[in-house]
Structure 1
């Protein structure tokens, strides 16, 4: 007597609240980021093939590693990063203000992100891409990270084109800084989910500071870094938002039970940040 009927909705709700394990974040297999890295390596190999250093110099032995044949690197006095010459990069799609603005070659805004000035440049960017991008793709999937990478690279190229009008620019640095910016905005918009908030924030600030400091080195396109970072930072609020802790997806509720969800999917501040970021991106695109 006095007991509830077994299997009542109250019992099920109580059991669900106590026994249901917390939802696990879906883990994705990272394949797009490694594909981007391979594509950049292939693009560099093609660049060296087109460059054909031995045919450009009176003495082919002036090239670095002449045994590589047409893949040999330009002399260090021409390119200290072990790569092709200026004209080859410009011909294949390097960012050039005059050609983009005056000659209408807008395709260079994206093409330049797949080109690299040398082996040193390529290795630095690709190792950073794999270190940063693989984890992001595993957490958020290839679609979101692919969009982030491409648009951040475009944003970095756009600011670089507006800032640098006398030199060419190549490299995936703008896209990489976009991923860093997205990591920061993801931490901010999903702040309540993190257990060790201060440690996560401190680590991220240190990593970003080091990379920004590298951007101040002469001959490094810091404007592409800044443009990519800002683009990725704003996109992160839109693409990387997570449900708040305690929210239950309706697909996880057993059929036949109309249970009231305890929490909305997102907090108010998450919606506000999402809207602000979207508005700023739209304004930036119009300007």
Structure 2
């Protein structure tokens, strides 16, 4: 049975075939054993840390919604080929790790080193996405979705709150800082806008390449060694 029949992401069938479920089903399909193993190893290294700290429910929500966000952006830009894989969801976890570090900045030690390491990992993985036959739009869409979700779902109480919560109410600090609350509000608004606008554009049959003439280079950069039209 081919990937198309199993639920691969295909723009025409999503938009004109009333098969929106492909936005989700494609996350669980892979193009081969190597593709599957690479993604599952990435999930082990990224997901275990997050799940241990925040629980499987919140991490699962980020994983699923990031995968859908990646599928939406992929469909808006890639309309001639099919796409499968959990990479968008995995990039969402990376995005969530980044926003979690930023929103909980005050409680971490060695934060600059952690931030630099995470940014390098993200940059390398996104750079790989400019190779042909790699759906970097799914990566970018998943990353941005996960980045916003991290501000919403991965907040930690500010430093000292846990130790002081038994003190009298008039001496107790707020559980979250003003910065955390502001970021939560902004992320919530932006996430809703992104999903609403993205889905409306998708089901109206719009091609995002027509609105952004250079964006196709984000997913593939042609060279003398390969052609991005393949």
Which TM-score band (shorter chain)?
A: 0.7 to 0.9
The answer to whether structure 1 residue 188 and structure 2 residue 102 are counterparts is: yes
1:249/1:275 Cα in 2 relative to 1: closer, same or farther (>3 Å)?
Answer: farther
Correspondence for 1:267: 177
| 1:156-195 mapped onto 2 (5 Å cutoff) | 156-195=70-109
> Which has the higher relative contact order, 1 or 2, with Cα contacts under 8 A spaced 6 or more apart?
2
Query: 1:199 aligns to what?
Result: 113
The answer to whether the 8 A contact 2:69-2:195 is kept is no
Q: In structure 2, how many angstroms separate the alpha carbons of the residues matched to 1:180 and 1:249?
A: 30
SS at match of 2:112: helix
Give the match for residue 92 of structure 1.
6
What's the offset of the Cα at 1:206?
1.0
Q: Deviations over 1:191-244 (max 9, x none)?
A: 111111111111101111111111111100000000000000000000001110
The answer to whether the aligner puts 1:117 opposite 2:27 as a matched pair is no
Report the CA distance between 1:259 and its aligned residue.
5.3
- How far the C-alpha of 1:282 sits from its partner, in A, is 1.4
Who is 1:278 aligned against? 188
1:239 aligned onto 2:170: no
Whether the 8 Å contact between 2:70 and 2:140 is mirrored in structure 1 is: yes
1:182 touches 1:234 (CA, 8 Å); kept in 2? yes
TM-score by length of 1: 0.66
- Find 2:18's aligned residue among 104, 110, 126: 104
CA RMSD of superposed structures (Å): 1.4
Other structure's SS at 1:113 match = helix
Give the TM-score, by structure 2 length: 0.82
Partner SS for 1:166: coil
Deviation at 1:248, TM superposition (A): 3.0
Gaps of 5+ in 1: 1-50, 52-87
Q: Report the Cα offset of residue 258 of structure 1.
A: 4.3
Deviation at 1:176? 0.2
1:41-87 deviation line (CA, Å, top 9, x unaligned): xxxxxxxxxx4xxxxxxxxxxxxxxxxxxxxxxxxxxxxxxxxxxxx
Gaps of 5+ in 2: 198-230
What pairs up with 1:33-52 in 2 under 5 angstroms? Answer: 51=1
Is this contact kept in 2: 1:189–1:237, CA < 8 A?
yes
Q: CA deviation at 1:260?
A: 3.9
Question: In 2, are the aligned partners of 1:248 and 1:261 still within 8 Å (CA)?
Answer: no
- Which is higher, the Rg of structure 1 or of structure 2? 1
| Partners of 1:283 and 1:168 in 2: CA distance | 26
The count of residues paired between Structure 1 and Structure 2 equals: 197
SS in 2 for 1:248: helix
| Deviation for aligned residue 1:261 | 3.9
The alpha carbon displacement at 1:285 in A equals 2.1
- Partners of 1:118 and 1:279 in 2: CA distance: 37
